[in-house]
Structures are given as structure tokens and as C-alpha cells.
Amino acid sequence: MFSYRHAFHAGNHADVLKHTVLIAALQHLVEKDAALTVLDTHAGAGLYRLDGDYANTSAESADGIARLIAPGVPALQPALQAYLDMVRAFNQGAATRVYPGSPFIIQRLLRERDKLKLFELHPTDLRALAGNVAQLEAGRQVAVLHEDGFEGIKKFLPPPARRALVLCDPSYEMKNDYGKVLDMAADSLKRFATGTYAFWYPIIPRPEAHDLPRRLKTLATKAGKSWLHATLTVKSSKITENAAGDVKRPGLPASGMFLINPPFTLKAALKEALPQMTELLAQDRNATHTLESGG
């Protein structure tokens, strides 16, 4: 259950998509005066070293954030530039050694009156998260909770000011995570129908992964809610074998973000950013993106 560690994947192509969407959504939500509550169901450690042992094991950031900061990269679209500026804000000088996870990206964008609830079950990541958050000296604005985020968010919905963003990005190592995401989405909409709900998921050769966005779409449509679905594919998902008989597994080829009640500005921002994201992060000729919305 506790085998997944996001530190191995920090700054990869899935993070570029997830955090670009997250920042664009939050930038719009904090424009309104009323307080905002943000719930992060699977917070992780909060901050990651890109030059540390975990990240270097898989070196996934080399085909993610590193491609955006490489020399000769053309001017970025606004949503991608906002993402890059956010990552750079956690680093000094030209080198990018620190990668902010969702908790630190969110906290950086919040105002004093806003609240952030971080859920994490992994004991090692929980300790790291608590230590990292303590350095923020954010007081009661940020709460670190050793709880299952799927269940833990229930007591915070609806929030006092009736404005909330929920970010849900489990590892999906457990097959039943897909069902838990759907159950959480349905329950949350009943508790707080006007919240903004953002779900990240991997696009892998597994029926549950392909069913998830379709079922979220059905759920949102039945509830009479608007939705937005963005995907980024950077390479083929096929397992290949060379002449020597060595089998190469591709790693994560693609991921998606599905939002219920997305900010109305988000689709236009992603329509500009996704083609450039695809071009810069492509690993083979199968790279592509999709963007659809409804409701």
C-alpha cells in the first residue's frame, strides 16, 4: 500500500500538466474576495529535490520540467509560463534543484484568509510534509492531516465561506482507487455542489483508467455541472523489444486532468498551452493532447 513515492516522479510530464492546470485554476479562484478552502487528498511530501537520490533514480524530470527551462525554448504560453515561474520561485540562481509539489504551489497562491487542508497517509511522506510545512510558518492557514483523503475531506464540505477547490491525485497503484475517486466525486457533489473538483489520473492500458473520465463525465452531466477534460500524451504505451531481445517498458505515457465546475477561464488558457506542452514534452511521434468540455 505504501510503495508509491512521488519523489521518484517529481517534475515529470504528468506534473507539468497537473500543476499547469492547478495554477491556472487557482489564479482565477483567488480573484474573488470570499475566502477559499483548498483540500489536497494525496499531498505527498510537499517539496522534492530534483538532484536527490529519489528523483535521480528515474530521472523523469529530465523529460518534464527540465525541457521547459532548457536553452533555446521559445516564449511560453501564459499558463505554461505561470507554471515555470512558480517552480523558479522555489529555486535560487539558474539551477532547478527544488520542485514544489501541489501543497507548496497551492500555499504560494493563497491569501491570508484562505485555508489549506493536506491529507497524507504514507508515514515517511507525512513526516517530510509536516517538516516542510512547518518551515512556512503559515500558522493555522495550513493543516497537515494523517488521514485517508478520500474520507477526510467529508468533514470540510461544505466549507464555511462556501468556496472550495478539491485536488485529488492518488497514485492509482491500488486498482480500487479508481472507484474511490468516483465515490468521492459523487459524495462531494452531494455535500457541496458548487465546489471545483480536480482529478488527476494516469492514462495506462487498464480498463479502469479509460473508464474513469467517461464515468466522471456522466456524473457531472447528471448533476447538471460543467466539466473540462485535458489529456497529455508524450509517447507510445507499447512495450518494445530490440534485436537482442531486451524488453523496454515505456513508463507512464500519458495522463489526464478532469475538472468538475472548472473556472470559466481555464479552457481558453489550456487551449493555448496544451499544443506547446505537447511539442516541448514529446518523446516520440505519438505525442498528442486533447481538450474537451461540457455542461
The catalytic residue positions are: 169
Q: What angle do helix axes 13-29 and 78-88 make, rounded to 10 degrees?
A: 100
Rounded to whole angstroms, how far apart are CA atoms 292 and 295? 11
Cell digits of residue 63: 523529460
The strand pair at 164-168 and 247-248 is best described as: unpaired
Q: Is the peptide bond before 159 cis (omega within 30 degrees of 0)?
A: no
The strand pair at 98-100 and 254-260 is best described as: unpaired
Which of 148, 267, 260 lies closest to 195 in space, CA to CA? 260
Phi-psi group of 135: left, alpha or beta (phi > 0 → left; psi -120 to 50 → alpha; rest → beta): alpha
Cell digits of residue 295: 455542461
Cell digits of residue 178: 479508481
Cell digits of residue 140: 493555522
